[in-house]
Structure 1
Amino acid sequence: MVVITLAVVALLLALAFVAERVLKKDEAGGSFKVRKLAMVAMFSAISAVLMLFEFPIPFIAPGFYKIDLSEVPVIIGAFALGPVAGIVIEFVKILLNLFINGTSSAFVGEFGNFVVGAAFVIPASILYFAKKTKKRAIMGLVAGVITTTVIGCLVNAFVLLPFYGAAFGGIDKIIAAGTAVNPAVNSVFVFCLIIVAPFNIIKFSIVSVITVLIYHKISYLLKMGK
């Protein structure tokens, strides 16, 4: 799993780096300046703290699916600094959370969180980075919600649910937890379709709305010292 995680991180960083180079807006000239590194560290720390404050959404998903707002600093950092910085912030956030809550099961869960978060950050930040307007920001966020919903279903179906099913007494127990929320849940596929997909749509839509509301108001602060 460690090797797979590192390979995924490398692939996503490469994708983000290529996107920045194609768009020719890598203002750091291909390297992080001190200010940029400081901002990445700041956004990562804020994100890690926000991960500690999570809440369930009853009637939508079982209690072990919880929403947090840690993606807000990640996407704001990606909008301000570029897709590469966004992936780095996402990864550092996950590492910090693992340091705080590090277990073998947490590692697999955080791998899933990283992939799902990156699936939101990459399309959103690339679209915004190409043309920095409010319209493009909204387009990017909508694209990110769609992408992360699809990727979230795949990650849950093929990685997270099988792992946690094996670790905690069988996949049937997880499906039963979904059935308790929605009687229509009778398989992993249906679980992902009517539990995981709505959960991610709600979570990342909330993140998107908050980002639209606050990014313009704080963007001038992020540009200070350039």
Structure 2
Amino acid sequence: MNNSNKNVNKMIKISLLVAIAVVLMYFDFPIIPLFPWLKIDLSEVPALMGGFAYGPVAGGAIVILKVLLRFLIKGTETGFIGELANIIVGLALVVPAAWIYNRNKSKKTAIIGMIIGGIVMELLGIVANVYFLLPAYGMQMAPAELSQYVIVGLLPFNGLKALIVGIITYLLYKKVSVAIFKVDSKFNDSKNQIA
């Protein structure tokens, strides 16, 4: 297969991952009753799988494209603040995880990458919410309310989302990496097994 065909094949697969991610965005649900606008969906799973297969730029592109495509289909109920939050948090998880994994593909680096991505997602999610997203949405919170939102809302929400997305990606990626992406996940390489 020449480079042109490989690029077309790669773009088709990335487009498919974007489409799957858009569909998954429709299956969202709140998990913290106190903050019903914090809704979990699994649309970062295809983005993370694309990032593992094709690198952090592809993973980041899937995150951005899924949000833009859903916006074009459904519009916005949040003045694009919710969509921007989804992009920020999705990029924070997917890009570091894919970058770490693609430097040395193994089970160990996949797990380390997803843990680092989860930590970056937690930190960036808090900073973005406190200093940009909440003020842009017009939500003014007293310091005590803001602390409660961060501790009871954002930390468990982003942590649980990163955990769920990471586990599902880990379980699925090995199965689809060779069959669909035509890349070796290196998950079977004995020297890369986790001790």
TM-score interval w.r.t. the shorter chain? 0.7 to 0.9
Aligned residue among 120, 124, 127 for 2:97: 124
Query: Aligned partners of 1:150, 1:85: CA distance in 2, in Å?
Result: 23
Counterpart position of 2:140: 171
Alignment-derived partner of residue 68 in structure 2? 95
C-alpha contact (below 8 Å) 1:157/1:189 kept by paired residues? no
| Structure 1 contact 55–66 (Cα < 8 Å) conserved | yes
- 4+ long deviations beyond 3 Å: none
Name the structure 1 match of 2:188: none
- State how far apart, in whole Å, the 1-side matches of 2:179 and 2:66 are: 22
Matches within 5 A, 1:129-140: 129-140=102-113
1:220 matched to 2:187? The reply is no
Contact 2:32 2:153 in 1 (8 A): no
Of 49, 63, 74 in structure 1, the residue corresponding to residue 36 of structure 2 is: 63
Q: Which runs of structure 2 are paired with 1:135-214 in the superposition (5 Å)?
A: 135-164=108-137, 166=138, 170-172=139-141, 186-214=144-172
Structure 1 Cα separation of the partners of residues 145 and 32 of structure 2: 20
Question: What corresponds to 2:192 in structure 1?
Answer: none
Cα deviation, residue 156, structure 1:
1.0
Q: Give how far 1:130 is off.
A: 0.6
State the AA in 2 paired with 1:126: W
Alignment of 1:40-119 (within 5 A): 40-58=14-32, 61-103=34-76, 105-119=78-92
The amino acid that maps onto 1:209 is I
Q: TM-score, normalised by structure 1?
A: 0.74
How many residues matched? 181
Match for 1:152: what amino acid? G
What is the identity percentage for the equivalent residue pairs of Structure 1 and Structure 2?
39
Q: Tell me the CA shift for residue 142 of structure 1.
A: 0.5
The residue matched to 1:187 in structure 2 has which SS?
A: helix
CA distance in 2, matches of 1:109, 1:223: 31
User: 1:107 & 1:187 partners in 2: Cα distance?
Assistant: 24
* Superposition CA RMSD, Å: 2.3
Deviation at 1:133, TM superposition (A): 0.5
- Please give the alpha-carbon distance, in whole angstroms, between the structure 2 residues aligned to 1:202 and 1:138: 15
Q: What TM-score do you get using the length of structure 2 for normalisation? A: 0.85
CA distance in 2 between partners of 1:160 and 1:101 (Å): 21
Structure 1 Cα separation of the partners of residues 19 and 94 of structure 2: 17
Q: Secondary structure at the match of 2:119?
A: helix
**CA deviation string 1:61-81 (max 9, x = no partner):** 521111000000000010011
